[in-house]
Chain A
Amino acid sequence: MNILQEISVQLQQGNPKKVAEFTQQAINENIDTKTILDNGLIAGMAVIGEKFKAHEIFLPDVLLAAKAMYAGMDLLKPLLVKEGIPTIGKVVIGTVQGDLHDIGKNLVVIMLRGAGFEVFDLGNDVSPEKFLETAVKENAIVIGMSALLTTTMPVMKKVIDLAKERHLYGKKKFIVGGAPLSADYAAEIGASAYCFDGMSAVETVKRFTTTSS
């Protein structure tokens, strides 16, 4: 097994210490930073994602693997910045204004970070302006909005309408999720996608960031 495979395997086993150890070894061996990221860390998380979808492993296993991924990312991040290599994608996320329910959103944040995305978590009760300003400032392609209440769902439309006003609508992707949401509602308000759970959010963000890059 080569060093990149070791990273992938240790990540799948949720072993942060070993992932950090092998990542450092790979760096020391002058393996290309992007190769370590793609063929070690992200490759391991891809296997985890597939197994989770097939019900072979469960959410705690996924999150543990994500934690191991952070251990590797912490070492790679300064090198990626130094070498000017972009992260696989940036996401601004929050629960919309008037809504304090953030359990589902928090799960999506954990899973997005686990998949290697840079996530700007704005918390809950987030105003439309804050969503857009942060996305512009951080150059994030994807804006994720969550709501648990039917009374706060319309704020999502406000965010999108404001984006249209500010000529950001075609430049950003708006993903929505939460218990009262549906694909129909997402289409109705002009959202780019509806994500029914954490894993579908990861897949959707992957799709959008790949397309935009």
Chain B
Amino acid sequence: MRPTLQFLSDQLIEQIIAEGREIMCKLGIEIHNDLALLLMHNNGAKVDKTASRVYFTQSLIDNALAAVPHAFKLYDVYGNEAVDLSGFNVNFTPGSAAINILDSTTNKFRKPTTQDYVRYAKLMCKMNNIASQSTAMIPSDVHEKISDSYRLYLSLLYCDKPVVTGAFTIEAFEIMKNLQITIRSSKENLKAKPLTIFSCCPTSPLKWSEVTSQNLLDCAAYSIPVEYIAMPLSGFMSPVTLVGTLIQHTAETLSGLVMSQLMNPGTPVLYGGSPAFFDVRYETTPMGSVATMMIDCAYNEIGKYLGIPTQAYIGLSDAKALDAQAGFETSLGAALAALAGINNISGPGMRDFESCFSLEKLVVDNEICGTALRLIRGIEPKEDFPSLPIFEELLREKHLLIADHTRKYFKEEDYIPGTVISRANRSRWEEEGSTTVGQRAMIEIEKHIKAWQPTNLPDNVKKELTVLMENESRKYGMTKLPNID
């Protein structure tokens, strides 16, 4: 039996959805996008163009819900299935778009560079519990107008896993789409085998900016999956109660859903978000707050109720160091999210309110993800009945270490973590250098990066990607891309 977690009754879910829909219809949603306004208008919504406000109709919402896919899959750069976003399937992906990296040699925060990104992408190839990569950091050594597409380019070049990404400008979508079509060789192939998910974020309260709404529409036009990342802040930019925040999250997310499905019915989407319970002491948005995690798990239940696969920024930490806080916030979030069945869990590697990426934390979090994935496999009998034979064997042999039963199941009954997690007794730990988790993580990072092998993407495709990226960089005055190797 797969263990699950539930915060909301069906009755409460229905009430929250009904309230969210009423807000969409009666108060309206501010959408700063002419094409979106036109689509809404043409499909029966009342549009106040001057105020960029759309008053949805119930049928518009119903039609979108009827059109949205209940599941979809992501495929790696070769076209192999890699991520199944359906039912209660759980997949982890790193947190994304950090503006800083924690430099492991100086232990200081700084802006990431191309070299940092390449190390990250190489490391991601070896993170066996993290199904997809994300464009985790924003390289600072390229023009800011290509910092979004350049991340995707590096990810596609150095790691074969599908990518959770996003564009920072309307213009960037073109190259980001073209990079994907180059890999898949046609728009149709890309539609058949999605390679990326684009994060598109409404602005709380109840608003879509021109950039994010246009990204959403552009993705829909190419059937590129989108995850809606509504970010209500309880007690600040949304009601302080979790239910009140969930109502707002519903309205913001469903408004995005309507736009996607109007633009291209059947566009795959994730019912996602990155809400937070606002910290009224430090004026921050804690991802490690238990209330934040509860909102995540609860809107996931709403998404599931609506038949839409889900996503959340959870399983990350606000800690600044790789310390106990980092461990407890990440572990609690990852475990709750996995139990709740959030399909795409964005978080590993991230600290400091989604602003700083850490390779050391990524390596540790990979073990947390493995632990959470084991947790949700639950407890099942495995040749345990009748039990007499195994106990007879135990009494006869005095131990079961080499029993067929043991050898068959010991690797799957527990999760066996890598050496970054210390399970040695104290004496052995001392003999091996009395290392901290951070030191062991650094050893793992270097080991994995050293063992990295180039992906099997054909050389001509890699060259094409580079030509596309070089052309894009020239538009912004860069004569060449940063040195990689």
Contacts and interface: CB of A to CB of B under 8 A. Distances in A.
Given A183-B427, A197-B428, A60 B402 contact: yes
Contact of B427 (A63, A107, A194): A194
Chain B interface residue number, banded: 10 to 19
Interface centre among A14, A110, A194, A196 (most CB of B within 10 A): A196
Interface in A58-104: 58-60, 63-64, 67
B428 A60 contact: no
Chain A contact surface mostly = helix
Nearest to B400: A60
A119 to B, nearest CB: 14
A168 B45 CA distance: 97
Contacts of B416: 58
A194 B428 CA distance: 11
A151 B407 CA distance: 36
Contacts of A14: 402
B398 to A, nearest CB: 7
A18 to B, nearest CB: 16
A134 interface: no
Contact of B401 (A55, A63, A196): A63
Contacts of B424: 197
Contact of B407 (A60, A110, A200): A60
Nearest to A64: B402
Contacts of B410: 58, 60
A106 B427 contact: no
Contacts of A197: 424-425, 428
Nearest to A67: B402
Contacts of A183: 427
B367 to A, nearest CB: 13
Contacts of A64: 402, 407
Contacts, number: 38
A60 B431 contact: no
Nearest to B418: A55
B382 interface: no
B396 interface: no
A106 B425 contact: no
Interface residues of A, number: 17
Interface centre among B398, B411, B419 (most CB of A within 10 A): B398
B398 A106 contact: yes
B399 interface: yes
Nearest to A103: B399
A60 B406 contact: yes
Interface in B380-428: 398-399, 401-402, 406-407, 410-411, 416, 418-419, 424-428
A59 B411 CA distance: 12
A107 B399 CA distance: 9
Given A60-B410, A64-B407, A197-B428, A55 B419 contact: yes
Interface in B416-470: 416, 418-419, 424-428, 431
Contact of B431 (A58, A106, A107, A196): A196
A196 B410 CA distance: 23
Nearest to B410: A60
Contact of A196 (B406, B411, B419, B428): B428
A5 interface: no
Nearest to B419: A55
Interface string A93-136: 00000000000001100100000000000000000000000000
Contacts of B406: 60
Contacts of B427: 182-183, 194, 196, 200
A56 B399 CA distance: 22
A60 B401 contact: yes
A199 to B, nearest CB: 9
A196 B425 contact: yes
A110 B397 CA distance: 12
Interface in B129-158: none
A173 B410 CA distance: 36
Interface of A: 14, 55, 58-60, 63-64, 67, 106-107, 110, 182-183, 194, 196-197, 200
Interface of B: 398-399, 401-402, 406-407, 410-411, 416, 418-419, 424-428, 431
Given A196-B428, A196-B431, 5 more contacts: A55-B419, A63-B401, A63-B402, A110-B401, A182-B426
Query: Would you list the 6 A-B pairs with minimal beta carbon distance, nearest first?
Result: A196-B427, A63-B402, A196-B428, A64-B402, A63-B401, A60-B407
25 contacts: A14-B402, A55-B418, A58-B410, A58-B411, A58-B416, A59-B401, A60-B402, A60-B407, A60-B410, A63-B401, A63-B402, A106-B398, A107-B399, A107-B401, A110-B399, A110-B401, A182-B426, A182-B427, A196-B426, A196-B427, A196-B431, A197-B425, A197-B428, A200-B427, A200-B428
